[in-house]
Amino acid sequence: MSGRAPGTVVSKVQRLRELLHRYNYAYHALDAPEVSDAQYDALLEELRALEGQHPELITPDSPTQRVGATPLAMFGEVRHRLPMLSLDNAFSEEAVRSFDRRVRERLATAGCEEPVRYSAEPKLDGLAVSATYENGLFTRGATRGDGETGEDITQNLRTIASLPLKLRGKDLPTVLEVRGEVFMPKARFERFNAEATARGEKTFVNPRNAAAGSLRQLDARITAKRPLDIFIYGTGYVEDGSLPDTQGETLASLRAWGFKICPESRIVTGIDECLRYFADIGARRAQLAYQIDGVVYKVDDQEQRRLLGFVARAPRWAIAHKYPAEEETTVVRDIEFQVGRTGALTPVARLEPVFVGGVTVSNATLHNMDEVHRKDVRVGDSVIVRRAGDVIPEVARVLLERRPAGTRPLALPACCPVCGSPVVKDEEAAVARCTGGRSCPAQRVEEIKHFAARRALDIRGLGDKLIEQLCATGVVRSPADLWHLDAAALAELERMGEKSAQKLVKAIHAARATTLPRLLYGLGIRDVGEATALALAQHFGTLQALQAADEDGVQQVPDVGPVVAANVVAWFRDTENRRLLHRLLEAGLHWPPIQRSGNPGPLAGKTFVLTGTLSGMTREAAQAALQRAGARVSGSVSSKTSYVVAGAEAGSKLKKAQSLSIPVLDEPAFLDLLKSSSRS
């Protein structure tokens, strides 16, 4: 129908929208439905019919506008105005108590002596997102991404009925960004999979994968068919408005504005109440309507949060307390050997598929032959498989009482299962290696994966599957071949369109601008990790100087012993390696001059070793902080080590430090050292 809508129609449309928004709020935010689903659907259809007759009345916040009609060609990028930080994890009561102690000690130095109140909530196993509202209307949705930049999933978030398109109430901030977790309730997940099976369609492995896969559909109409839900747990950027002074009050405000808040959220006082909450949720975990893998504790008071601050990508005022790893029993059907970048053979158990830790597990690492013999894992054994979160599944132990007759201990193969080259194993080493080098297809593929990885050359878009495809077709045989790829040839590969091919070629050429430490790490020299690569670069200054060095010269680098020095010199003297370097330089790889070691710094001349898990910062952030202060960071403890920094669950490095009487710093002492160094 054309022409201007009569006033009675306009009024009716407005009344229907107000009713639907109210019913939506009662159903999702208050968990107190006012009408039946059939009544709600009838009102929605009435509104949809009126808008169909009078399209000029359609507004973005209308309940009918939850599904976009036009599929996207690709997701755009969204730069978060405030980073979406990750949380540090705690796997034991001791680690949680240490977190609380650090919080109290830091607050005490600021004059806050009262008991700490925490906001506690289940840690949903879903997908973190942000949703932005301007003048009360939903305008943009994004994934967490890397914390700084996410994907624009606005159309997909609009399809989730529990996320309001228009906020309720007054005194709303002009701009309000909320953060939450999108998930698929367990019952809906089971029903969705059952219906998909009946239709002969693909099913999802677990609710988390279902939620993540649903939100990454370019066609929002597909997302709309998925039974997704969302809990809002906090805020991000806020403009022209204010929020309450505590997390608990903030959640109450968010609920009043129309957001769905987890009903299990609680305010507790002190660490003992946190642990009681953890035990209570754990006891009811199986009965919850959604999948969780732990609980989260956040300091409730916003001013105290500001005093505590952040470290790297995690806040000091929050921690995720994870539940123990899940275990299941299954049978070892076979044991195969995978060949890695340096030729190391890793035994992998092929298992009778078993559902554990939220996924179906059919493979588990056995690490090395020493581990195989220690656990005495054999084909045919019944074993306990353990998995926690995203950790690679492992065989925890063998059920010897169930061992069938006739099983045999696993023997190390004499030849590489991929290329047939001899396999060697030093008596003192746990690792057995294929001697084929780059002639072994497996080593060749892993070398290129390592070279292109984020911490090496960081070639965006060049994933493992694509590298395997390039190597399998013979297009790429060494890292240098990457710079000879063209978009036309790439576009012919499976799942690679013309635009994707052009984007990848652009990323490969952009990666020519790198740093000397990144290049040295990316070359994959045995025993040369990031810290050693940086130390080598700082000591020699140039690639040419390092190439010309002998073993004695390389051993002058702090914390580089005879084994690493021999590996470095052997790599640079190898004819094939020198040819690879020459081709990389011909392709245009370049880097800025690096400041040689000896630069002044409060910790210059000191060598640190990091072990265990730090709750206040990542391992990378701790290493970077030490290096900025002039210190060196080593991967192993020796008599040259100045300090060992021991976080939670520190292992053999701590024991070795204690046996050598090397000073050990716990996390508070380490942070104090960094703070005093920054003032020097």
Q: Is 308 helix (H, G, I), strand (E, B) or coil?
A: helix
Q: How many CB atoms neighbour CB 24 within 10 A?
A: 21
Q: Which residues pair with 246 in a beta bridge?
A: 301
Angle between helices 619-628 and 667-679 (to 10 degrees): 30
Task: Look at residues 179, 182, 83 and name the one whose alpha carbon lies nearest to residue 125.
Answer: 182
Task: Classify burial at 497, counting beta carbons within 10 Å of its beta carbon; exposed 0-12, middle 13-18, buried 19 or more.
Answer: exposed
What share of residues in the chain are helix, strand, coil (percent, to 5)? Answer: 40, 20, 40
Q: Is there a catalytic annotation at residue 653?
A: no
> 12, 123, 170, 260: which one is catalytic?
123
Task: Classify burial at 520, counting beta carbons within 10 Å of its beta carbon; exposed 0-12, middle 13-18, buried 19 or more.
Answer: buried
Q: Is 456 helix (H, G, I), strand (E, B) or coil?
A: coil
Cα–Cα dist 490/498, whole Å: 8
Cα–Cα dist 663/233, whole Å: 41
Q: Amino acid identity, residue 333?
A: R
Cα–Cα dist 178/352, whole Å: 43
3-class SS string, 533-583: HHHHHHHHCCHHHHHHCCHHHHCCCCCCCHHHHHHHHHHHHCHHHHHHHHH
* Distance (Å) of CA 76 to CA 143, 157, 223: 11, 14, 17
Q: Of all helices (H) and strands (E), which one includes residue 488?
A: helix 487-491
Cα–Cα dist 327/278, whole Å: 20
Task: Look at residues 313, 306, 324, 295 and name the one whose alpha carbon lies nearest to residue 619.
Answer: 313
Cα–Cα dist 480/447, whole Å: 11
Q: Of all helices (H) and strands (E), which one includes residue 445?
A: helix 441-452
Q: Which residues pair with 553 in a beta bridge?
A: none
DSSP code at position 600: -
* Distance (Å) of CA 455 to CA 303, 390, 459, 460: 36, 20, 10, 11
Q: What is the chain's length? A: 680
Q: Which residues pair with 298 in a beta bridge?
A: 119, 318
Cα–Cα dist 400/379, whole Å: 12
Cα–Cα dist 553/389, whole Å: 44
| Contact assessment for residue 127 and residue 212, using Cβ atoms and an 8 Å cutoff | yes
Cα–Cα dist 256/238, whole Å: 17
Dihedral angle, C-alpha 27, 33, 35, 38, nearest 10 ° = 60
Residues catalogued as catalytic:
123
